[in-house]
Chain A
Amino acid sequence: MNKYAKLLPLVSVALLSGCIQDEPMNAECDIEYASVSVENPTDIFYHDYDTLQTISTVTDSIGFLVRRTAQVGMLPLTLQATEGARVLIVDGNEEVPFVNGTPLDFSNEQKHRFKVVSQDGGWSRTYEVKVVRDSNFDYDHMYMTFDFEQYSLESGNKYYVWKETDPIATGYWIGNDPMWKNGNPGYKLSVSSAKPEDYPSAPIAGGGPDGSDCVKLVTRDTGAFGRMVNYRLASGSMFIGEFDVANALKDALAATLFGVPFKHRPTRISGWFRYIPGPHFQNRDGVILPDSIDQPDFYAVMYRNQDAEGHEVRLNGADILINPHIVAMARLPHPNHGLTDEWQYVVLDMVYREELDPELLENNGYSFTVSVASSYRGGEFEGCVGNTLYVDAITVECEY
């Protein structure tokens, strides 16, 4: 009898499996990978791996960064789309099926438009592919100032995004993607009803020390969905890099990708801050720890973005402060950060562990990030809900 009892689930599965219908066609229509083929990649690109890109599902603009001096003409392009999806190249009003490997004219930063239609024909997305020429890097003693004055609601009107307009920063560092990054896209997933001003990172009009706009970073409770995945709070943050929302639930630390290639030698960072601590420190499980205190964070890190074997190195929330590829760092002291409810100007020197290699620097071999957060252990989902850090006028000073 026991033997038959064990068979019962198997029989049930067999019976139910008989009812499985044919597989539905794919509804997705992403470009997953994009690549160009050239004989000697490093003639026009900085690294071999720059010719192949993994495309995030939130991106619709694909750019291949080439050296400032590169001669770019016809490049054979390959786009790998979702299985079964059709890729069309858009030329004016015409949409023609695109054959992978077709050479396209990328001279003069010419853009090409594509439309991807899902296998089931129900969905489509459009993309733009271009080659971006890198900026000049000869510049003596430069300053970048980030005032956070240029902000707007993102396309879904859920939260604010900040665009950097400082001409030095956009001209020499983050020209490809001049947007500040933060955890707002992840917060949207868990607290869909939040108003834009209640996101962890939000602007305050006229709130700065000089009466200009500033940024308010608040550690927020992530509600029922946050508890569902054991991510109970979200620290307010602003950083240079990329927020990979695809991994926001799977591995939140790895979703925070820091740094963009940088060809200068930063010596000092500074900024204006005002800090109001939240009432109770909670650990990852939401347990209040009366003896623990939360702290804000502000740091800059310069690191080598390639390992000894030539593989790409991208620091994330797990190793941004400890990875051995770090060459220089400046960080707000802990626990004696000295910030209070009054606006305060903070200057931090970059401390170099090794001197920069000029050739590596010229070849985009270093990446640099600046980061601020309302909870210094927010990446581990620990801290005080309500911790508030006001930020304005961050500057980066470079020797060259």
Chain B
Amino acid sequence: MMKIRQILPILLLTTVSALQAQEDEWEKWGPTDKQSKVGVLLRAGYTIGGTTPLPLPEEIRSIKEFSPKGGATVGVDAYKMFSRRWGASIGWHFFYEGFHTVAEVKNYKMSLTMEGNTMSGYFTGTDVTNNSMWGMTIPLLATFRMSPRWNVSMGPYASVFITRKFDGRVYDNSKGVGYLRVDDPTGEKVNIDRENPATYDFDENMRTWNYGIELAFDWKALRHMNVFGKIDWGLRNVWPENFDAVDFRMYPIYATVGLAYRY
């Protein structure tokens, strides 16, 4: 018992000082402006991802190649902390994102309309897709400080695509099989091979804006610098509902990692 009586004050003392230190940490890594608790973040990062159907439809048999194209985000976020743990931010980001993929497909329903003429049917073979867009995103996020140095933010965003590219070509697969069944699987078979591929271009068909959910993690590495990672998950089909060249809905899903200057 004597021992406990002697240890207790020491224990209490250390706990209090630990809490004190913890409080200093929250203060130290908090907003630079201690009065208004308002600040800005200047972000720059590398962006990777793709525009994809979810889940991948069974018509897609294998992905032979996938590579991100370029991919960069720069932008600014303004934030305000309302309490020690909770805050909000609004941003304005410019991005360039895209991908290149080579996929083997089977009975992939497609319909192309060009100059008022339509070619539709079921394609089996290789489909090469190139997609890229320049645009800007406005995220509106709620921020939660998990710890003095770790923030997680989440909220809706809206994007506008300033330029859009979505094109590609179809030809035979690795077994030399590439054909379209015109209109339906009993229609005439039209062979297409890599010597004379059929190309397509849906730039104009892509929707000009999108919305989704952004989830971001920030780690305060230095007094004025964050390391961050975020994912923008598009929730709006990139194709208008009446667009039937691509038989499934596709969503842009892009992740960014980078550095931010924090004030």
- A22 touching B58 by the CB < 8 A rule? yes
Q: Do the beta carbons of B186 and A20 come within 8 Å of each other? A: no
- A189 with B182, Cβ < 8 A, contacts A9-B66, A9-B67, A249-B191 known: yes
* Chain B interface mostly: strand
Task: Say if the beta carbon of A118 comes within 8 Å of chain B.
Answer: yes
Tell whether A228 pairs with B198 under 8 Å between CB atoms, given A22-B58, A29-B186, A246-B190: yes
> A198 CA to B210 CA in the complex, in Å?
42
Report whether A225 and B112 are in contact in the complex, using a CB–CB cutoff of 8 Å: yes
Contact A23 B61 (CB under 8 A): yes
How many Å lie between the Cα of A257 and that of B195 in the bound state? 21
Residue A223 at the chain B interface, CB threshold 8 Å: yes
The smallest C-beta distance from B156 to any residue of chain A, in angstroms, reads 26
Instruction: Enumerate chain B residues within 8 angstroms of A125, measured Cβ to Cβ.
Output: 186
A19 to B61, CA, bound (A): 10
Does A8 interact with chain B (Cβ within 8 Å)? yes
A-B contact count (CB 8 A): 116
Report the bound CA distance from A360 to B207 in whole Å: 66
- Picked from A17, A225, A228, the residue with its CB within 8 Å of the CB of B63 is A17
- Which residues of chain B have C-beta atoms less than 8 A from A193's C-beta? 116-118
**Number of residues of chain A lying within 8 A (CB) of chain B:** 43
Contacts of B64 in A (CB 8 A): 13
Task: Decide if A250 touches B66 in the complex (CB within 8 Å).
Answer: no
Q: What's the dominant secondary structure at chain A's contact region? A: loop
* Chain B positions 158-201 with a Cβ under 8 Å from a chain A Cβ: 179, 181-182, 184-193, 195-200
A93: CB under 8 A from chain B? no
Q: Is the CB of B58 within 8 A of A23?
A: yes
Contact, CB under 8 Å: A245 / B190:
yes
B88 interfacial by beta-carbon distance below 8 Å: no
| Complex-state Cα separation, A58 to B187, whole angstroms | 7
Cα–Cα, bound, A203→B95 (Å): 57
Contact B66 A246, beta carbon cutoff 8 Å: no
Partner-A contacts on B (CB < 8 A):
48, 55-68, 106-107, 112, 114-119, 122, 179, 181-182, 184-193, 195-200
Q: Could you list some 13 contacts between A and B, CB below 8 A? A: A12-B68, A20-B56, A21-B56, A23-B106, A24-B106, A27-B107, A28-B185, A185-B188, A223-B117, A229-B197, A245-B188, A246-B188, A250-B192
